[in-house]
């Protein structure tokens, strides 16, 4: 049987697992919410969509070169973020896609394999 898994650099932050209040990313375990880019994973203070500190999130995202899309994992179910978040991201040229955290993890891995500039802000579920 042929292996159809796309090659991804070992430096990249592939999400290997999620649930039980945390994540396994590039072989490391994280408890709580995280922000993941191709090359770095950072802990994040958000515990729900209502608890997102927009300025904290923007400060982190501005450090990512050529970022075009943010995947927002909203926990166990999809919850729309406040409109202000979408408008603030649009001001700096970043599109926002929100979905439940599991879907955001899977989508991030696909974008990472496609070498697209994306980040995922994931609320632990």
Distance CA 13, CA 25 (A): 6
Distance CA 1, CA 14 (A): 23
At residue 113, the 3 state secondary structure works out as helix
Mean per-residue pLDDT for 88-102?
A: 96
CATH, domain 15-122, list 3.60.15.10, 3.40.1230.10, 3.40.50.720, 3.20.20.70: 3.40.1230.10
pLDDT over 90, % of the chain:
86
Domain boundaries, the chain: 15-122
Q: What is the pTM of this model?
A: 0.91
Q: For residue range 4-63, list pLDDT tens digits in order.
A: 345 556 678 999 999 999 999 999 999 999 999 999 999 999 999 999 999 999 999 999
pLDDT over 70, % of the chain:
92
Distance CA 62, CA 55 (A): 10
């Amino acid at each position: 049987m042929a292996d159809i898994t796309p090659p991804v650099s070992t430096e990249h932050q592939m999400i290997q697992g999620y649930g039980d209040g945390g994540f396994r990313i590039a072989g490391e375990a994280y408890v709580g919410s995280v922000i993941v880019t191709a090359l770095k994973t950072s802990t994040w203070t958000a515990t729900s969509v209502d608890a997102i500190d927009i300025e904290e999130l923007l400060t982190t995202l501005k450090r990512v070169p050529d970022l075009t899309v943010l995947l927002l994992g909203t926990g166990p179910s999809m919850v729309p973020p406040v409109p202000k978040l979408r408008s603030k991201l649009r001001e700096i040229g970043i599109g926002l896609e929100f979905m439940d955290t599991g879907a955001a993890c899977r989508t991030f891995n696909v974008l990472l394999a496609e070498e697209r500039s994306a980040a995922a802000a994931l609320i632990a579920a």
